[in-house]
Structure 1
Amino acid sequence: MPGCTKCGKRLLESQKQLSCGRCSGVYHLVCTSLSEEDLGLLAQQQQHWQCSNCATVARATRNDDTPVRNISALVHSSSASSQPDALSEMVKELLDRVKSLQNNQCELQKSLSFWEQTVSEQAKQIESLNSATNKLCDQMSDFSRQIFGHKASVTELENRVNILEQESLKNTIEIHGVPAKDGEVVSALVSQVGLAIGIKVDQQLIDYAYRVRYNPAGDASRPPPIIVRFLRYTNAEEFLDARRVKRNLYTKDLGWNDLPSRPIYVNCRLTSTNRELFSKARELKRQGKIKFIWLRNGKIYAREREGSERVLIRSMCDIENFK
């Protein structure tokens, strides 16, 4: 059995075959690059198939190498055939499809160009937004630094105001624990406490003395304190020093044996800021974080442990350092 002219392999009866109408060479159908539909079309049009070699020789003989001329020749030869209209319609349909593909490709290129331009514009906008965001971040950093500086300045000013306010209270003391009685004369109670701690208080040395109004939210078992302002700082300091010497002072020392004996405390008058700081410091002492705490001339001092350095407490930052 002969072999395929192109691949040289044997031609089996089970395989589809095709012979050249010019050189009579026999080929496998798969070696001709034709489909079964193409084979049926050739049979329908009663045309002979030519192999690639013979087709090349035929084109050289006609001096016709361009695709356009090949198509024209195909149209011309098909017009001479028995069914020229069918092939013309096929060629026309093929050209229409090519034209449609070209139009679609043109539209696709336009769409792609539009989206490329859109993406480019979006990229520019994103870059602009990033730049604006970076500027805002820089401004926020500047504002944060300014705010931090302002806070430091405000804290310093508050400390100065507190110092001045405390200085204005240096002649003033507080007496806690003295029971309140109807019709009491507060200045006389001050003199009575002075005698209990070993000093004589001249009424003319007192600028004013009053008992703080009762606070419903406070401890009802503890009487409101007495506020005393002396005309001179030395008088207030003498009163405080005498109380330190006395150490333990109770209501019985005032001669009030008919009342339960309670301790009496004498302290310098503190500003609201220093009262809060003193309260926080005492809380730290109860927690064991401060060993000693005391007042001197309206200032709060603390010592973390025995033998450690004395610390002046002026702000919450000083309190935080002990935590």
Structure 2
Amino acid sequence: MTSAIPGLRVLSPGPKTTIQDTGRTGYRRHGLAAGGAVDLHAYAWANKLLDNPFNAACAEIVMGGFRAVAEGDVTIAIAGANSPVSINGRPVGSWQSHQLKSGDELDIGYTRSGRFLYLAMAGGIDSAIRFGSRSIVVREKLDGSEPLREGEILRRLAPSPEQSSDIRQVPERFRGQYDDTLTLRLIPGYQIDSFSQDQLLRLTTSSYTISEQSDRMGFRLDGTPMADVPPGIVSEGIAIGAVQVPGDGLPIALLNDCQTIGGYPKPGVIAALDCGRLAQRLPGQTVRFRFADIADIQNERRLFHLHFVRTNWDESGNALHWTL
């Protein structure tokens, strides 16, 4: 007997697809990573297209290659990396919502630029909650924390809010662009005084390339190393976005699935929204650093959050207006 709740049956999960929300909080002291969507910008837009709660769970698809068939009528939205998307073999757009009828086949091809895509379902994806979050951190090997497999069914939460039958699209100016050189804004940390002026100048005037050693845990960067970096420190708690400088003098930018403690010195922490931009870059792409004021970064983050919780779609489905 089939479930009355509509969903998507996975035909191919691609290289790796996991369920992610905004991540877990309050458990890093127990050794559990925060997890959560690595590109908060694309993730938030996928949910906004469907009027989902800000922290609704999505499928985070790495590098594309995802196929599924609708079991019942389903409203979905896709945002993130540049990949060809088709429904029943007919090309459709990304950064927009789609109505799937029962039996429709969704095909998300391999990415042309960017790394992560987010597939949202109206009402959010239903999955097990562990330690306050639906996010999956594969390396922790908690029960049921594996990537999606062929044949699994993604069900939406029931009941879900009524959805507009119109197709909604993210305005072009808000869509992610992942091909250009990325400048990462670095908030100075308390260990910055451990680095010399020459070392900090090298950090902020050099260009780095993303190495093959890059995933949800963090990105190792290649380039001209700092000389005579500070020695290791007593292991301490690490924030998402922390930039560690190990003995080889090359920075490591830590992301959502990073370890909870570490013993390398850190000149600062990357702004949260820039972490998402970094996560979308591929090996060989170029990044730079510049120091930024924490107040500017905090204000940007507040406005980002308010934009998604204090705006509503207009009747055209192509623009948002603010509400009080």
TM-score range, shorter chain: under 0.3
Higher helix share: 1
Larger Rg: 1
TM-score normalised according to structure 1 size: 0.18
- Which structure is higher in strand share? 2
Q: TM-score, normalised by structure 2?
A: 0.18
**Higher relative contact order, structure no. (Cα contacts within 8 Å, ≥ 6 residues apart):** 2
